[in-house]
Amino acid sequence: MTEALHKRFGDLVAVERLDLAVRKGEIFGLLGANGSGKTTTIRMLTGLMPPTSGRAEVAGIDVVKDPEAVRRRLGYMSQRYGLYDDLTVEENLRFYAGVYGLVGAEGRTRIEELLTELNFQSRRKQLAGTLSGGWKQRLSLACATAHRPDVLFLDEPTAGVDPAARRHFWEIIRALAAGGTTILVTTHYMDEAERCERLAMLWKGRLVAMGAPNEITEQLGQPTLEDAFIALQEKESEEAA
């Protein structure tokens, strides 16, 4: 939940008085071009960046007043590669489980669950640096969910991954949401945006439409999400000219 969430960098307004409400167990998408404010919003919601003004709560916790408590309740998979190439799959999982306080028998049990759930048993001793893009993505997701977070933030999680790996990734995401995890994902892929239950479309840091994919197209007067996205890009080009 955000209320008038605002972020300014000098003269640049990156996010402008953003109001969002995401339901428990929902797959909610932030859609927008580069520079629209998606990543800045994610970084404020995860407590990595303080807002200039406004409020934000994650899992019922104020991200400004208690960012550490928020981070214990969430998982975060950024668009930047965050694995350790010189560690094996199992060692990466053990490291991140330890970061989240899962040690001893509890940690070992959870690691075995993740290895099984994500089909890593035959790759557990493989160095992360030798995995394909799709498998690295899957391992990053496993590390982000080691502690079973209430809320999972995915910032452009499938960038640079082949279509088959992207489809499998979304099968995993739907299973997590079905289990009660709230998921907020940023994307610029229209097929992925269509898989979200609801979307917020951002443009230059401002919320221009919010709702189910079909509601977004109705609000923006376009036949498809892709057309709506292109229309916003064209508008930006016209203003820059």
User: Residue 130 and residue 112: Cα distance in Å, rounded?
Assistant: 21
Determine the CATH number of domain 2-80+151-240.
3.40.50.300
Token couple for 62: 């104020």
The packing angle between helices 89-99 and 104-117, to 10°, is: 130
Token couple for 224: 């498809």
User: Residue 81 and residue 58: Cα distance in Å, rounded?
Assistant: 24
pLDDT tens digits for 102-111? 989 999 999 9
pLDDT tens digits for 124-182? 999 999 999 889 989 999 999 999 999 999 988 887 778 888 888 899 999 999 999 99
Domain boundaries, the chain: 2-80+151-240
In DSSP terms, 27 is beta-bridged to: 183
Q: How many CA atoms lie within 13 A of 176 on its CB side?
A: 30
User: Residue 55 and residue 238: Cα distance in Å, rounded?
Assistant: 33
H helices then E strands: how many in the chain?
9, 10
- On whether the CB atoms of residues 202 and 31 are closer than 8 A, the answer is yes
- Among 56, 59, 26, smallest CA distance to 41 is for 56
Q: Which amino acid is at 59?
A: A
Q: Which amino acid is at 130?
A: T
Give Cα separations from 182 to 73, 148, 214 (angstroms): 11, 11, 21
User: Residue 93 and residue 40: Cα distance in Å, rounded?
Assistant: 27
- Among 67, 42, 17, smallest CA distance to 186 is for 42
pLDDT tens digits for 183-227? 999 987 888 899 999 999 999 999 999 999 999 999 999 999 989
* Mean pLDDT over the full length of the chain: 91
**pTM score of the predicted model:** 0.90
Q: What are phi and psi of 199, to 5 degrees?
A: -135, 155
User: Residue 8 and residue 224: Cα distance in Å, rounded?
Assistant: 32
pLDDT class for 55, splitting at 50, 70, 90?
Answer: very high
pLDDT class for 1, splitting at 50, 70, 90?
Answer: confident
